[in-house]
Amino acid sequence: MSTLYIAGRWRTAASGETREITCPADGAVAVTVDEGGAADARDAVRAAREAFDVGPWPRTPAPERAALLSRIADRLERELDEVARLESLDTGKRHVEARIDMEDIVAVFRHFASLAQAEAGRVVDAGVPDVSSRVVTEPVGVCSLITPWNFPLLQTAWKVAPALAAGNTFVLKPSELTPQTSIWLVRALAEEGLPDGVANLVLGPGDTVGAAMTNAPEVDLVSFTGGLATGKTIMAAASTTVKKIALELGGKNPNVIFADADRDAAIDNALTAIFLDSGQVCSAGSRLVVEESIHDEVVDELVRRATAIRMGGPFDESAETGPLISDGHRAKVEAYVAAGIEEGAVLRCGGERPGGELAIGSYYPPTILDGCTSDMSCVQDESFGPVLTVETFAGDTRDAAEDAAIAIANDTIYGLTGAVWTQDAGRAERMARRLRHGTVWINDFHPYVPAAEWGGMKQSGIGRELGTAGLHEYQETKHIWHNTRPAPAGWFANPQD
Ligand code: NAD
């Protein structure tokens, strides 16, 4: 089966290379796909450019674009179980979690289908007679869409749906580790009638395929979700031709628990905040910031509950969490934990690979590092694994306690998400406004809706996905001034007069 899709044709890589995709739960080969290279990426960019410049898609009426997005949502609903299975095989994540991701993706396509028709520009008052002045939106052009492995189809949907809603053409490169659901999506788009060249898919490594997609002068916008270091490389590359960029990068997200919080809810959600999907979530609550007076009670209970979390493969119904994406990623998480202990953090649970039947996969247990301070690398760096660091704060007065919590929670180069747990409504509002993070949860952790913007402050990124801003990322704004009674400007003297 050919797995690169360029100019409306499925084809193999120019180099003839292939890659085996293995399931991190047991190392079994899930599928073999074509391994694209820079030449394939350049072909795909050219196809997308031509489809934008001469093709019908940018000029297709919004209701037709919306209808296509709705058909993708319908199709995913019908094929949900199978697409979730592909996602589980690539990522090792539990099938039940992958199914929830798919339901979210259906909602994302429906959200952008309705937005596509809602925004038709606006008329502005020119301030002079006989002039019609209006602001219209147009597609940005050719988009390079580059996505990570943790929520492969979800992150892809956040880009593909608004890109198409706005009338763009694109080249998509999923993570080289998790290509199967992107193949499904591009096949579905083609079969649902998207014109040739609008959607192009190139699989392969970031430093060849991704770099070619970022450097190509024909590209107008690069939308990237992934790590901070890669984001910086992409930003620098995009600057050579002043491409627009949208970056969704990492996070080191504080979960602040005050002594007046609903203790059971706060503790239970603190577990989900960090250990869901084995911590491989950009918005994971990896940094517990707990009021000193309740530290022992909260952390003892977290340790007891974390130790009991059952790990297992995607289709093991008794499992509560799965493996990490790869042995290489696990080695990075192990190094991160070792550095934390070296710096003085106290390992309260986890920290050791499981044996027995789990030894075959890339498993790493829920791990808690207590006694942390803001200057430690394990507090500042993203582990992207199931590792929770614990810091405490205290204050003699209400304001002093809030100031102390905020000082810790904002002491990070990142600014993606944060949460505050308290039963004091005023405190909750004050904290929510002071947290320098793009999403803030009050007495909750993790939920999002497609209608609300998602993205990071500081080094967590540039721009927003979802919401209405998520569509605007893929649109240019144009002002059209129409003088209905043309006349000489009369500024410069005309010597013949
Ligand atoms: P990564 O940066 O290694 O890779 C992401 C994508 O970029 C992959 O497709 C990769 O092949 C590609 N890439 C790598 N080098 C490239 C280059 N030089 N030029 C162009 N493309 C290149 O990240 P990852 O390990 O796949 O994902 C984990 C990271 O993603 C974490 O830091 C996480 O926080 C972040 N993330 C952020 C969000 C968010 O919404 N902010 C969501 C999910 C993941």
For 209, 284, 312, the CA distances from 382, given in Å and listed in that order, are: 25, 10, 24
Residue 119 has pLDDT above 80, yes or no: no
Assigned token pair, 253: 């997200």
Q: Output the pLDDT for position 496.
A: 81
**What integer pLDDT is reported at residue 296 of this predicted model?**
98
CA of 85: how far to CAs of 40, 147, 185, 323, in Å?
Answer: 28, 19, 14, 16
The closest-lying atom of ligand 1 relative to the alpha carbon of residue 211 is 19
Q: Which of these, 212, 163, 216, 211, lies nearest to 189 by C-alpha position?
A: 163
Dihedral sign, CA of 320, 325, 331, 333? Answer: negative
- 404 pLDDT exceeds 90? yes
Residue 90 scores a pLDDT above 70: yes
CA 473 to chain CA centroid, Å, is: 14
* The pLDDT of residue 235: 98
pLDDT at 449 over 80: yes
How high is the pLDDT of residue 1? 77
CA of 112 to the centre of ligand 1 (A): 24
Residue 346's pLDDT is 98
Which of these, 33, 13, 35, lies nearest to 21 by C-alpha position? 33
Instruction: Determine the average pLDDT of the residues in 296-302.
Output: 98
Give the per-residue pLDDT at 362.
Answer: 98
Question: Which residues, 6 or more positions from 232, have their beta carbon under 8 angstroms from its beta carbon?
Answer: none
Does residue 446 register a pLDDT over 70?
A: yes
CA distance 294 to 296: 6
Taking a C-beta distance cutoff of 8 angstroms, is the pair 475, 140 a contact? yes
The SS3 assignment for 299 reads helix
CA atoms within 13 A on the CB side of 259: 15
Q: Span 380-393, mean pLDDT?
A: 98
Tokens 């297992």, residue located? 312
Q: How confident is the model at residue 439 (pLDDT cuts 50, 70, 90)?
A: very high
- Looking up tokens 């290489």, which residue turns up? 328
Q: Whose CA is nearest to atom 32 of ligand 1?
A: 227
| Residue among 296, 284, 383 nearest 331 (CA) | 383
386: confidence class by pLDDT, cuts 50, 70, 90: very high
Average pLDDT for the chain: 97
Distance from the CA of 67 to the center of ligand 1, in angstroms? 31
- Give Cα separations from 64 to 12, 137, 319 (angstroms): 31, 17, 43
Tell me the DSSP string of 44-69.
Answer: HHHHHHHHHHHSSGGGS-HHHHHHHH
Q: Which atom of ligand 1 is nearest to the CA of 230?
A: 2
Mean pLDDT of 463-476: 98
The residue type of 305 is R
CA of 155 to the centre of ligand 1 (A): 11
Catalytic residues: 248, 282
**What letter does residue 321 receive in the DSSP assignment?**
B
**What residues have CB less than 8 Å from 485, skipping those under 6 apart?**
129, 130
Name all residues whose Cβ lies below 6 A of ligand 1.
146-150, 155, 173, 175-176, 205-207, 210-211, 214, 225-227, 230, 233-234, 248-251, 282, 382, 384, 416, 456, 461
11-63 pLDDT per residue, tens: 999 999 999 999 999 999 999 999 999 999 999 999 999 999 999 999 999 99
The pLDDT of residue 83: 98
pLDDT tens column, 281-295 = 999 999 999 999 999
β 244-248/461-462 pair status = antiparallel
Q: What pLDDT is stored for residue 457 in this prediction?
A: 98
* Residue with CA nearest ligand 1 atom 10: 206
Once rounded to an integer, what is the mean pLDDT over residues 398-415? 98
Helix, strand or coil, per DSSP, at residue 487: coil
pLDDT of 195 reads 98
d(CA 246, ligand 1 centre) in Å: 13
Report pLDDT for 372. Answer: 98
> pLDDT at position 233, please?
98
pLDDT in tens, 320-354: 999 999 999 999 999 999 999 999 999 999 999 99
